Amino acid sequence: MHPFLRKILDATRLTRSGQLTEATQAIQHALAGPLKQAGAHTATQEGGDLLAAAVVELPVAPAPASPALAAVGSLAEEPLVADDAPPAVRPSTGPGRFVDSSFTGAAGTRAFKLFVPGGFDGEALPLVVMLHGCTQDPDDFAAGTRMNALAQEMGFVVLYPAQAPRSNSHKCWNWFSPQHQRRGSGEPALLAGMTRHILQTHSVDRDRVYVAGLSAGGAMAAILAREYPDVFAAAGVHSGVAPGGANDVASAFAVMKSGPRAGTNGASPFAVRMPVAERAPSDVTVPLIVFHGDADQTVAAANGDAVVAAALVAQPVVATTSAGTSAFGERTFRRTVWRREDQAAAPSVAEHWTVHGSPHAWSGGAAAGSYTDPAGPDASREMLRFFLEHPRRA
């Protein structure tokens, strides 16, 4: 076999096994010879064709598309190609690894990406499940929230499930459909199963498992917090909707535009709950941190109030409110913290950040991702801080 061909085939093998850095180095090494012979601008015909074939094998992040929680699209569930093998993550003392895999459960198959920080070998780390908004994907969401960099800094594993276009044409999580609002059904069951899969295959502290999301992802994060308090210790809801906020596409748009119907105490009249016998063994209320921009034209800011109200129902709490300005001095915010009346020194049960002038976007996010507001307070860092204050309660 020609030496050049052998090197390119080696690069392809490395790519398929997830070793992208090594694959890139192999391609560069393979091209070194042909480039010297052919000059700076072109390689040999053989080298050029093989390079094109190798590049096709490399994963390419899709370009960010349009807004989260836009049109909610099709509900049809079509099976994808199953691949339930654990992610190809090896112990590392260097930089973290961001790898692709997928999970198959009774409700279907979803791809995901997993970030494992370097330098924490042997430690049981917290896990954050990050649910993207409509039209987004794990790469876009990771770039916009900067969550991987913070996870490397603070020692978190981060799971990014990917919604399948076959399940929703705009890649929205189907938070507005009753079959996807209940424990043991649809996407909540699939996402909880994927989370448990990571707990079984990686060194994760089961008492420090959290979920956060933006827009449709925020709405689904609130559902997971309500339906799986035995899995998730706390949740972050950014620009989302309270659980049970809709029961079809029409009611989804209505609640997004105006918030829940007046007089429902933050809970929608469409709320769907499982019988007690089918719910989690410990029906606790999961602590929530909520971010919402008061200039959000896609999901009305009243929905942020509703998410908090739904979480605080029947809890005797007292609130403390403060105001501040983001580190960039461009956005002011109001922060309200709720604690139980009888446990004033205990961790909070809910925290709500209203970011003044912020649109439908992740507060403090990076411009590298879609739907971010770099001028706002850092939602990612504040969520991680809140999560660390709230390990799962017995």
Q: Is 167 a catalytic residue?
A: no
pLDDT tens digits for the chain (394 residues)?
A: 444 444 444 544 544 444 444 544 554 444 343 333 333 332 223 222 222 222 222 233 333 333 334 333 333 333 333 333 444 444 444 689 999 999 998 889 999 999 999 999 889 999 999 999 999 999 999 999 999 999 999 999 999 999 999 999 999 999 999 999 999 999 999 999 999 999 999 999 999 999 999 999 999 999 999 999 999 999 999 999 999 999 999 999 999 999 987 654 444 443 434 333 344 444 568 999 999 999 999 999 999 999 999 999 878 889 999 999 998 888 999 999 999 887 767 789 999 999 999 999 999 999 999 999 999 999 999 999 999 999 987 5
- The rounded distance, in Å, linking the Cα atoms of 233 and 156 is 14
Amino acid, single-letter form, for residue 44? T
The 3 state secondary structure assigned to 342-382 is CCCCCCCCEEEEEECCCCCCEECCCCCCCCEECCCCCHHHH
229 secondary structure, DSSP code: T
| Residues forming a β-bridge with 319 | 338
pLDDT, tens digit (0-9, with 9 covering 90-100), for 348-386: 999 999 999 999 999 999 999 999 999 999 999 999 999
pLDDT, tens digit (0-9, with 9 covering 90-100), for 250-279: 999 999 999 987 654 444 443 434 333 344
Closest to 218 measured CA to CA, from 25, 93, 69: 69
pLDDT, tens digit (0-9, with 9 covering 90-100), for 27-58: 444 434 333 333 333 222 322 222 222 222 22
What's the Cα-to-Cα distance from 95 to each of 117, 119, 326, rounded to whole Å? 7, 7, 29
Question: Is the whole-model pTM more than 0.85?
Answer: no
- The rounded distance, in Å, linking the Cα atoms of 256 and 226 is 20
Closest to 206 measured CA to CA, from 347, 393, 351: 393
Coil, helix or strand at residue 292? strand
Q: Classify each residue of 199-231 as buried b or exposed e, where b means 16 or more C-beta atoms within 10 Å of its C-beta.
A: beebebbeebbbbbbbbbbbbbbbbbbbbbbbb
260 secondary structure, DSSP code: S
Centre a 10 Å sphere on the Cβ of residue 166 and count the other Cβ atoms it contains: 15
278 secondary structure, DSSP code: G
- Point out the catalytic residue in the list 167, 215, 268, 326: 215
The 3 state secondary structure assigned to 118-167 is CCCCCCCEEEEEEECCCCCCHHHHHHHHCHHHHHHHHCCEEEEECCCCCC
Find out if CATH 3.30.300.180 is the number for domain 97-388: no
Beta strand pairing call for 125-131 and 204-214: parallel
**H helix runs in the chain, sequence order:** 3-16, 20-38, 45-57, 138-145, 147-154, 186-201, 216-227, 249-258, 302-312, 379-388
CB 27 within 8 A of CB 10: no
